[in-house]
Structure 1
Amino acid sequence: MSVNSFGAKASLDVNGTSYEIFRLDAVPGQEKLPYSLKVLLENLLRTEDGANITREDIEFLGSWDPNAEPDHEIQFTPARVIMQDFTGVPCVVDLATMREAVADLGGDPSRINPLSPAELVIDHSVIAEVFGIQGAFEQNTDIEYERNRERYQFLRWGQTAFDDFKVVPPGTGIVHQVNIEHLARVIFPRTVDGVLQAYPDTCVGTDSHTTMVNGLGVVGWGVGGIEAEAAMLGQPVSMLVPRVVGFKLSGELQEGTTATDLVLTITEMLRQHKVVGKFVEFYGDGVSAVPVANRATIGNMSPEYGSTIAVFPIDDKTIDYMRLTGRDEQQLALVEAYAKEQGLWHDPSREPVYSEYLELDLATVVPSIAGPKRPQDRILLDHSKNAFREALEVFAPDANGFEKVDWDKTVADTFPASDPTGSNPTDTDDSQQPVHFGDDGEHDREKAGVPVKLAAGEEFNLDHGAVTVASITSCTNTSNPSVMIGAGLVAKKAVEKGLNRKPWVKTSLAPGSQVVTDYYDKSGLTQYLDAIGFNLVGYGCVTCIGNTGPLIPEVSRAVNEHDLAVTAVLSGNRNFEGRISPDVKMNYLASPMLVIVYALAGTMDIDLFKEPIGQDKDGNDVYMKDIWPSEAEIQEVIDSSISADMYTTRYADVFKGDERWAALPTPEGDIFEWDEESTYVRKPPYFEGMTREPTPVGDISGARVLLKLGDSVTTDHISPAGSIKADSPAGKYLTEHGVERKDFNSYGSRRGNHEVMIRGTFANIRLRNQIAPGTEGGFTRDFTQADAPVTTVYDAAMNYIEQGVPLVVLAGKEYGSGSSRDWAAKGTALLGVKFVIAESYERIHRSNLIGMGVLPLQFPEGQSADSLGLTGEETFSVEGVTELNEGRTPKTMKVTATSPEGKETAFDATVRIDTPGERAYYLNGGIMQYVLRSLVDA
């Protein structure tokens, strides 16, 4: 019930339609606030109830001190929730389970229903099994449906069983691209209690790249699936009012640079600036020079630099993009009128007050890639060869002939930064020749490597640095017509010169929406992409999430038999170790245009500015600059090939799906009938034995270390992802349940089955557990047995649970960085981990641990497990947990580690339960239990 203590309620007339709004100017001081905090302020004004949201909260935000450290909690109520299928399926599984649990506790199961609009896009399930041929899309889609039939039937049931829940079927597009092209309202019109309201569109999503919608002026970010479920059920998101970093843009991008180069530059800057947990907001004259597609690319990468959001304000470019993508004129008029009325329209002459400031002249951006294992590790393209060789010393230290390039002795400055493609007319013929670095430094690629012969008869040598995967994929770049059209033009020029992908490269094209295919077809570029192997493989995330599919068999065999450090190049946002393919050690992020260039060159061991990428029909060397399109060429194709009717046509029946979707049998009823034989969807154990009142929490004693981990352990390392190996605990489980190896599918596709997911938690092939030295993957030592033998994490955890031994994870800095993976927390909890002690956390995973009843603790400042002399063989106790029962959160808790010899090491660990709301979740055993009890008692 709205309190409206500021008298903010008013009306706004737009073309004869009256909307109820809550005026920001009713709050003193709001005019100086950054754009993003104004959106939060409106949210508080509209949802003020005198209890969870009070007048004091509103006054605090209106008088926000930009220099203060975050310490004031507010309750943010998102306008909607958006999900993808990997993270969305467990959300719907949990909702279905909650319906049964409510009934068991004497409540009404129909109360379990989304109270905020919830939309799910199925985009994470397609795998690039088939590539490089006509019909690859149809074959991959058929395989996708066959593998995921149980999940898809379950989601169809959810679409009919739950109100205000919509599903975008497979083969439509990537969730974040569908969000900006169709689902995002920017200003949300909604009838509430019979009154038509208008308010800023805000959202939370079950994918960290939900921030892509920030490019449209929508404040939204990724949360764990468990938080999203709570938001769907009307629970606000508890958050601290953040610090806001103002990022001033000036100038314009220079010829030859792309949105990808810009976002990699910004990612590097913001990661260095340390923006974890902060809002980033772009402002200044340069904002108008950044089209929405580029803004969305920048917003998308927010998780890579760690900020909660990276938002652009609403302006003319926003309206232009919404018109292009087929939004109706009344919605456009509402967005403009509301934004201007509420002071949310961008005014480049106004400089809001920010907590911190950064600035970038767009003209200084130069061609870049990032890798080989982190998105923030930007490499100047003209230094990429040297950077690769330096990295090779780590990934393949015994590689011969790959000495580092001495850049002081080269003509590295041949091409000025203002002409990054090397097309300066003053270039001489000499500058086009490969640069040689002497006999010791030059690696002869023609003679080196391992001989490989393909089934089709092609023969070649495969060496370190070979590009074995080249994929145009991921919402980050496939939503951007400039780089996608640019890639098509690169393909066209390459074909015209007689170039083709190297035979060892697995190529794929996975656009973010069907509109991309439409404008490729209309522009005539599809035929050229097909000609060099970039055939459509599906509409989904594919390579960027590890759905790469198998490499070319003979290539895979050579890589594994000879331990080659081969590479992948993709237009994605994630390149962590082991993510793209188990065969590929080194992964590089690049623009779609460069993805094609590297597929043609076939190696990372190349200076693209000075060495040829291939030979034309007459045997003449072809350089990158020979096939690189100009901005004018790209714009000409965009203008002639992309129109609003493409979007309106494609999205007219976006929830309907194709004939495959329509033919799926749809279960019925309010309560889902679980299939005990299903290996995809099973009823989880979260609510077993749950009582109406929570049991008080207690101190912890006798805990054993399950894993001792280093720095930068990501949710990719923790959460089950990628393919399922036959000899893994998950593989053995599936085999025991009659699933053939070819039908294992990926971990992500089986997120609705906790039995598979718990077995895959902490099982990443690149995970290094320091208490099991010499191993790589999901291994640990089992201290329940004599001599503590090395075994799988899952098997050890089950032994600990059987003996009633609580578990702890020790970790370094940035624990849990990466995507918002709910199973990174769910799996941790189900393995019996009661607390984690890390040097620092990234926001989403820390929050998710609490949401699953796991206590996050932090080593004292400047200390770590190693500095305290902890080996992981100790038993641990935690004192002070019981204080939480008294309605307060202690700043520290005493941790005591006792070595096998009886030596005690005690320290005061910082408690990372940051808000009263998080304390309530922890006391209830998790966020789902808290919501369930709230609904039963309501």
Structure 2
Amino acid sequence: MAPTDHPDSFAARGTLKVGDRELEIFRLDALQSKYDVARLPFSLKILLENLLRTEGNGAVDAADIEALATWDAKAEPANEIAFTPARVVMQDFTGVPAVVDLAAMRDAMADLGGDPARIEPLVPAELVIDHSVQVDEFGTRTAFAFNAAREFERNRERYEFLKWGQDAFETFKVVPPDTGIVHQVNLEYLARVVFVNDRDNQAYPDTLVGTDSHTTMINGLGVLGWGVGGIEAEAAMLGQPMSMLIPQVVGFKLHGELPEGATATDLVLTVTELLRHKGVVGKFVEFFGPGVTSLPLADRATIGNMSPEFGSTCAIFPIDAETLRYLAFSGRPKELVDLVEAYAKEQGLWHDEHAEEPTYSDVVELDLSTVVPSLAGPKRPQDRVPLSHAKEGFRSALGELLGDDPGQEVAHGHDEAIAESFPASDPPANGAPGHEPDPHEPIDAPAVAAGTVIAQRSASAVHVALDGQEFDLDHGHVVIAAITSCTNTSNPSVMLAAGLLARNAVARGLTRAPWVKTSLAPGSKVVTEYYERAGLTGDLEALGFNLVGYGCTTCIGNSGPLPDEISAAVQQGDLAVTSVLSGNRNFEGRINPDVKMNYLASPPLVVAYAIAGTMDINLTEDPLGRDAEGNEVYLKDIWPSTAEIARTVEEAVQSDMFRASYGEVFEGDDNWRGLEVPTGDRYAWDEASTYIAKAPYFEGMEADPSPVTDIEDARVLAKLGDSVTTDHISPAGAIKKDGPAGAYLQSRGVEPKDFNSYGSRRGNHEVMIRGTFANIRLRNQLAPGTEGGVTKKDGQEMSIFEASEQYIAAGVPLVVLGGAEYGSGSSRDWAAKGTNLLGVRAVIAVSFERIHRSNLVGMGVLPLQFPEGETADSLGLTGEEAFTITGLADPMNAGELPREVQVRAGDVTFTARVRIDTPKEADYFRHGGILRYVLRQLAAS
């Protein structure tokens, strides 16, 4: 829209002079005489500017602006607005299928008689390849080079395709692999805070959507953005405003300062617990109060990162002096820093400790001085456990796990079984005075020298010989200790705390337990540079924390296999072993298929648990081990002080590191530059490829959509319980040799050793559809007693994919029944795409996670909610019934948005709530999904 076409109903167009440049802005104070916009939350002011600037684009009019300016903080969201983000950011797992869809849309556009070149990102789109490196080698100085080489071997086809996309699409840029994690690269380099559109000479807030739920990390920098599915991101790239309801905004008031020994990780786990308890799903969270000024930018980013874990759409901090300090420190040009300050102050977006408090829908408060060292686990990020109670929390969780597993020896009851596994008497460490060595405990075994709880053999233990050492592996042993994930690796204070703790531990003669797979996967090269400058690299390596790659590894499930001997012992004893990682996700089956219990912790605690080797220890009271003189060493003896950490950060982290690391960020290494890339505006699909395949969503598509129909005589493909995450639904992690996806790959000549992960094959729908609902921990109640992608059809057990094929061949529509929080977790578009391709017409659940519900609509799948207070079980549904859903077609085809439909399932009839929430979503649904809608709009214009 040209500036002259803008209606400017509120006379908001103005100018801002910064240096020798004069920029057009849309002034928020133009509304102040009629509406008290000065008291709006920071995040809503950004949305209001967005509406003022995009008025007249066909999706925004004066009434929308007035609806936001008159926001009622206490009202339930009801007013729809259209948000137009300034840019889109992607990671490669979700970005590859997005580019596949764009390439397929170019073909479909040609088929409809349009110009394929019309399919082009209209806003900057940046993709960071960060999710493909796996921890194959660890604990060696060659680990990084080895893992990077394996990454290119496995993913060459994908990388060639992405490099083609970078050439074929003018506004699409790719940050090559082995550079950093998308959210850290976004924080340290890509984010602008204030965006300048040179075409229109306009300045406006930097806003974005990302194809990863942890896009919210950028909220710490005062940038409004959140995670969406790949299909929504594609529409945003193609210039489609994003339909949303004006949200409620929960203010989170901070005061005080973090106490000695508490880290940003402990703070974010506390915030996650508080906000999960409060209930903020679908809401904005905004931090304010005097405590904000005491939080470094990196701590703010750590909190923003975990917004998906407490369920909010975003978790944003305002722009203030700390924002400017970070921008300058991270190498942004002075002109940008000056612009951010001038714009924020001019628009009422600036925060200081004397600023008037905005109006909020609700307020949560936290005194930072009450934060204590914590973990979260063993399977949900909101399940915080104070470090002082971690041992008893672990034992309680283990009791539940053993009790659920009839294969375990629990004849004496849970407590006695646990006591048998973990004797109360803790013998002194092997080699210490007065200890008679056990024949299974070699004197020189570092693990025994490091631990005091784990030395005694229990009834459940399995004896292991590994790399010349022998030991007993048991329940609770930590087999993975990973410093990984965007949440913490962007934060110098916790990363350097880990290095300092490692230095102190090595000085006392401690080492890691030999069964622990250790890894260090920083979010950017800046981290390894400041480790070097602080002189801590060698100490981390002495404990096995060698660099394994720059990317999202363990947290996304790319932990790599455990050593064969460890894996065999785990399976032999059916052991409940654990992982400890500095990540944000610890859902069942996510980290490693051999690991049943996963704990989130700060980087220094990850190092501590690698030394301890077990979760069955109270690190606040029990010794980690003994030094060379036989003296007990406690965690408090080696934990660095807050002052020492701050001093090390100041000395080691320098501005020049950012400039050097990001100087040629899009160039890549020799591997990237040497890729052979196909040319042309349309992609030359390779029928033999098992990585990249033409998306099927446009097959048989006509210029006009077919009428919506009701759903008749549908059958249930899966009946699922509460808290089914997108990790359970979407293919993720390792591909099983004997599963449908594994069988398909082998039929195409791919050997199991070359399967790679599901994430790496997201560009091939044939693989992905076979892995949908195939998570090893999924429990389908239609097939009781089973785990994984299993269902029953006509009384016969079979894979969900096989049943789907049979139903589709017979023309039978399908539904899925779900519980509360259906689809929580990462913003996986394949959780919706796979559901669609399996033939599922509707998902009926107790409640939905925000992104997944939107993605289902975006793929033409109908989300329905059971009546308030009801579940599938309370209604007496077994999943064996035939389902007929009526009351959808007539209003939809008349251009209306139905709020309810009638569902008849066997002898049961109930009214379900339609979770198509906005008129724009109704349009998407009528067209069979957002991609078809956008394509038809572009073809028609």
TM-score (norm 2): 0.94
Q: Which residues of 2 match residues 207-606 of structure 1 at below 5 A? A: 207-349=212-354, 350-397=356-403, 398=409, 445-448=455-458, 449-606=460-617
Secondary structure of 1:235's match? coil
Aligned with residue 826 of structure 2, among 819, 822, 827: 819
Q: SS at 1:65's partner residue? A: coil
Aligned counterpart in structure 2 of residue 5 of structure 1, from 6, 9, 12? 9
Check whether the contact 1:705–1:808 (CA below 8 A) recurs between aligned residues.
yes
- 1:617 CA drift (Å): 1.6
- Match 1:22 to one of 21, 26, 29: 26
Shift of 1:29: 2.0
CA contact (8 A) 1:386 1:404 kept: no
Given that 2:464 and 2:473 are in contact with CA atoms closer than 8 Å, whether structure 1 keeps it comes out as no
Say which SS state the counterpart of residue 920 (structure 2) adopts: helix
2:62 to 46, 55, 62: 55
How far off its partner does 1:452 sit? 2.9
CA shift in 2, pair 1:865/1:236, >3 Å: same
| Deviations 1:321-366, CA, capped at 9 Å, x for gaps | 1111100100000000000000000133311100011100100111
CA contact (8 A) 1:93 1:681 kept: yes
| Structure 1 residues 602 and 461: alpha-carbon distance in aligned structure 2, compared to 1, 3 A threshold | same
The question of whether the paired residues in 2 share the 8 Å contact of 1:396 and 1:564 is answered with: no
1:555 Cα offset (Å) = 1.0
Q: Distance in 2 between matches of 1:866 and 1:782?
A: 20
- Cα offsets for 1:674-707 (capped at 9, x unmatched): 0000000000210000000000101110100000
Structure 2 residue aligned with 1:617: 628
2:792 pairs, out of 753, 778, 781, with 781
In 2, the alpha carbon distance for the partners of 1:832 and 1:50 equals 36
The question of whether the paired residues in 2 share the 8 Å contact of 1:547 and 1:722 is answered with yes
Identity %: 65
1:926 to 926, 929, 933: 929
Q: Deviations over 1:488-526 (max 9, x none)?
A: 001101111111110000000000000000000111100
Counterpart AA for 1:3: P
- Name whichever of 14-23 and 210-219 sits farther off: 14-23
Instruction: Return the alpha-carbon distance in structure 2 between the equivalents of residues 341 and 445 of structure 1.
Output: 65
**Aligned ranges 1:62-211 → 2 under 5 Å:** 62-192=69-199, 195-211=200-216
Q: CA deviation at 1:621?
A: 1.4
1:270 CA displacement: 0.3
Q: Distance in 1 between matches of 2:401 and 2:537?
A: 37
Letter in 2 for 1:190: N
1:700 and 2:711 equivalent? yes
User: Post-superposition shift, 1:444?
Assistant: 6.9
Assess if the C-alpha contact under 8 Å between 1:452 and 1:554 holds in 2.
no
Tell me, yes or no, if the aligned pair for 1:402 and 1:443 is still in contact at 8 Å: no
The alignment partner of 1:453 has SS state of strand
Q: Is the 8 A contact 1:238 1:915 kept in 2?
A: yes
Aligned AA (1:638): V
Deviation by residue 1:468-488 (Cα, 9 ceiling, x = unmatched): 000000000000000000000
Cα separation, partners in 2 of 1:840 and 1:451, compared to 1, 3 Å: closer
Task: State how far apart, in whole Å, the 1-side matches of 2:881 and 2:871 are.
Answer: 15
CA deviations on 1:416-471 (whole Å, 9 max, x unpaired) are xxxxxxxxxxxxxxxxxxxxxxxxxx987522253433342201111110000000
Please give the alpha-carbon distance, in whole angstroms, between the structure 2 residues aligned to 1:453 and 1:300.
39
d(CA) in 2 for partners of 1:116, 1:277: 25
2-side partners of 1:316 and 1:730: how far apart? 52
Give, in whole Å, the separation in 2 of the partners of 1:621 and 1:374. 33
Correspondence for 2:895? 887
Which residue matches 1:833? 840
Quick check: 1:506–1:551 contact (8 Å CA) kept in 2?
A: yes
Structure 2 regions of 5+ residues with no counterpart? 404-408, 425-451
Question: How far, CA to CA, are the matches of 1:518 and 1:703 in structure 2?
Answer: 58
Distance between the aligned counterparts of 1:864 and 1:472, measured in 2? 40
Asked if 2 retains the 8 angstrom alpha-carbon contact of 1:810 and 1:838, the reply is: yes
CA distance in 1, matches of 2:54, 2:223: 18
The offset of 1:191, in angstroms, is 1.6
Q: Distance in 1 between matches of 2:57 and 2:521?
A: 49
Q: Is the 8 A contact 1:835 1:857 kept in 2?
A: yes
Name the stretch that deviates more: 237-246 or 635-644: 635-644
Say whether the 8 Å CA contact 1:133–1:533 is kept in structure 2: yes
Q: Is the 8 A contact 1:500 1:532 kept in 2?
A: yes
Q: Secondary structure at the match of 1:280?
A: strand
TM-score, normalised to structure 1, is 0.94
Structure 2 equivalent of residue 862 of structure 1: 869
Paired AA for residue 24 in structure 1: L
Instruction: Tell me, in whole angstroms, the C-alpha distance in 1 between the residues paired with 2:352 and 2:139.
Output: 48
What amino acid is aligned across from residue 395 of structure 2 in structure 1?
A: R
Aligned partner of 1:918: which letter? E
CA RMSD of aligned residues (A): 1.2
Structure 1: which 5+ runs fail to align?
Answer: 411-441, 899-903
Specify the code of the residue in structure 1 equivalent to 2:716: V
How many Å apart are 1:889 and its aligned residue? 1.3
> Counterpart amino acid of 1:471?
A
Q: Do residues 913 (structure 1) and 924 (structure 2) align?
A: no
Identify if the C-alpha distance between structure 1 residues 401 and 838 changes in structure 2 by more than 3 Å, giving closer, same or farther.
closer
Mapped to 2, the partners of 1:531 and 1:298 lie a distance apart of: 31
* Residues 246 and 356, structure 1, Cα contact 8 Å, conserved in 2: yes
TM-superposed CA distance for 1:404, in Å, is 7.9
Equivalent residue letter for 2:168: A
Cα deviation code 1:209-265 (max 9, x no counterpart): 000000000000000000000000000110000000011000000010000000000
Q: What's the secondary structure of 1:454's corresponding residue? A: strand
Contact 2:293/2:352 (<8 A) preserved: no
Quick check: 1:896 aligned with 2:896? no
Alignment counterpart, residue 853 of structure 1, candidates 855, 860, 869: 860
Partners of 1:614 and 1:755 in 2: CA distance: 51
Cα deviations by residue, 1:504-551 (Å, 9 ceiling, x for unpaired): 000000000000000001111000111110000000110000000011
CA distance in 2, matches of 1:187, 1:345: 12
SS in 2 for 1:396: helix
Aligned length: 892
AA paired with 1:862? G
Preserved contact between residue 735 and residue 755 of structure 2 (Cα < 8 Å):
yes
Give the Cα–Cα distance (whole angstroms) in 2 for the partners of residues 651 and 97 of structure 1. 32
CA offset at residue 403 of structure 1? 7.2
Tell me the residue number matched to 1:801: 808
Match of 2:446 in 1: none
Aligned-pair distance for 1:402? 6.5
Q: Residue deviations 1:730-786, cap 9 Å, x none?
A: 000000000111100000000000000000000000000001001000000123xxx
Decide whether aligned partners of structure 1 residues 824 and 444 sit closer, same or farther in structure 2, where only a CA change above 3 A counts. closer
In the TM superposition, residue 640 of structure 1 has moved relative to its aligned partner by 1.1
**What amino acid does structure 2 have at the position aligned with 1:354?**
Y
